[in-house]
Structure 1
Amino acid sequence: MGNQKLYKGSLQTIILKLLETHDKMYGYEITQKVKELTKGDLKITEGALYPALHKLEADGLLDVEVAKVGNRLRKYYKLTESGTKETANKLDEMQEFLKTMQHLVNPKFSLE
């Protein structure tokens, strides 16, 4: 998809869903998984990813675990209990949004 702006409002939901599925991940791993899952259609930049991760952490939705990997420290992000609940809420919201958009762009087609 050429228009990355359409994904911008979904970044937190994407991150939460990946962490729900993969338990804990580090930033670069998240960007690569999104790229893989979207066959390169969506490339999340560090400039978008890290502010989103920091906001989710500040909101109490993520815990951060620091581990030494080789000579480097790596931050792993993991859902908190609140984060798990918020992931379910965000996914429900996303489903409703997609259903609404589908009705708008193709009224003859229904996801139900």
Structure 2
Amino acid sequence: MNKTSLYKGCLEPIILKLLDDNGRMYGYEITQKVKEATAGELNITEGALYPLLHRLEAEGVLEVEMENIGNRVRKYYSLTKAGKKEKSKAVLELENFKNTLQLLLNPKLA
């Protein structure tokens, strides 16, 4: 198993937490912030990021603002009120998952 498949299930809470911490962000900015925060350990591909952002937008978790930057349109994503609730839930679920893994991998520390 490679680490990419391990991170895949954690991507949603990571993105929601990042948006909660930073307000609004655009896709490339999200990928770079994650790469920077993890010292290059986690690289989110466009193929993983944009389908997730589109799904979260369709579910009302994210709102999108379009902004003209030069001759390009940039999409900025931010959490809706429902998104802030979803972020709290997703981060708690991830924390619980991490604690469960800790019980299995190193029970002396749990």
Name the TM tier (shorter chain): over 0.9
Equivalent residue number for residue 62 of structure 1: 62
CA RMSD, aligned part only? 0.7
Q: Deviations over 1:11-39 (max 9, x none)?
A: 11111000000000000000000000000
Structure 1 residues not aligned, in runs of 5+ = none
Q: Secondary structure at 1:78's aligned position in 2?
A: strand
- 1:5 Cα deviation (Å)? 0.7
Where does residue 18 of structure 2 map in the other structure?
A: 18
Question: Percentage identity across aligned positions?
Answer: 58
CA deviation profile, 1:26-53 (whole Å, cap 9, x unmatched): 0000000000000000000000000000
Residue 108 of structure 1: SS of its match in structure 2? coil
* Offset, 1:70: 1.1
Deviation at 1:3, TM superposition (A): 1.4
Amino acid in structure 2 at the alignment position of 1:101: L
TM-score norm. by structure 2 comes to 0.97
| 1:81 and 2:81 aligned | yes
| TM-score normalised to structure 1 length | 0.95
Unmatched 5+ stretches in structure 2: none
1:8 partner letter: K
Distance in 1 between the 2:95 and 2:13 partners? 11
